[in-house]
A = this chain, B = another copy of it.
Amino acid sequence: MPDSDYRDIRTLDLFAEMADEHFTALMRGAYVQNFPAQIELITEGEPSDFLHIVLAGSVDLFSAWNDRETSMATVRPISTFILAATIKDAPYLMSARTLEKSRIVLIPSQDVRGIFDVDNNFARAIVTELAQCYRSVIKAQKDLKLRTSLERLANYLIRQQHHAGGGAEFKLDFEKRRLASVLGMTPENLSRAFKGLQPYGVKVNGTLITIEDQADLRRFAKPNPLIDDFST
């Protein structure tokens, strides 16, 4: 594994505080791989053999049932995914596929569990990470259960704008069809939802969004830190 990858991983909260020797042991068993776009990395229901880390690119976590499919989340560098399944040694609840060319680290789950047992700082870092993940999903669930699709889109745009620096113009960071799935609606419905936000000053041009009057949109969207602040 290249030194730069090694250092990047080491700086993740999850690994930052663990003993050198344990980190080295984990990395010895790990391997880094470059995947093209649209590769299914893991499949829901299978045993969790590897903890994954996205170093570059992006990964879609999705789930299917009865011929329907939905995007649950997008993983961007640098972060891990399916930590919970790895720790519990339980089957994956979600599938994962690369959205673009991506650089992924795979660490054998067995190694992770082994180091978890002996490294107390690592165990504590995992607690923090899982608590964070848990809270994120709770927020997503509140978003789904308490808001209409129009409200979800409006709040998504506000979050995205903030994330992109707060300027009036910004780009969507994924395909509209996937955005629709993440927001829990169909692509057709998303198209119409964008139109439904025009009265609040939202202009759409391909993936470029312009929010003409932020206050107006916020009045409609009513963003709330207990739902929308996806950092905590």
Whole-angstrom CA separation of A227 from B91 in the bound complex: 12
List the B side residues contacting A131 at CB < 8 Å. Answer: 83-84, 87-88, 130
Whole-angstrom CA separation of A93 from B184 in the bound complex: 21
Q: Given B124, B135, B222, which contacts A65 in the complex, CB threshold below 8 Å?
A: B222
Whole-angstrom CA separation of A184 from B128 in the bound complex: 29
Q: Given B137, B145, B224, B227, which contacts A134 in the complex, CB threshold below 8 Å?
A: B137
Interface SS of A by simple majority: helix
Q: How many residues of A contact B (CB 8 A)?
A: 49
Selected A-B contacts with CB under 8 Å, 28 pairs? A45-B226, A64-B146, A65-B142, A70-B146, A72-B138, A72-B141, A72-B142, A72-B145, A83-B131, A84-B135, A87-B128, A90-B232, A91-B226, A93-B135, A93-B142, A116-B127, A123-B124, A127-B127, A130-B134, A134-B134, A134-B137, A137-B137, A137-B138, A140-B141, A141-B141, A141-B144, A144-B144, A144-B145
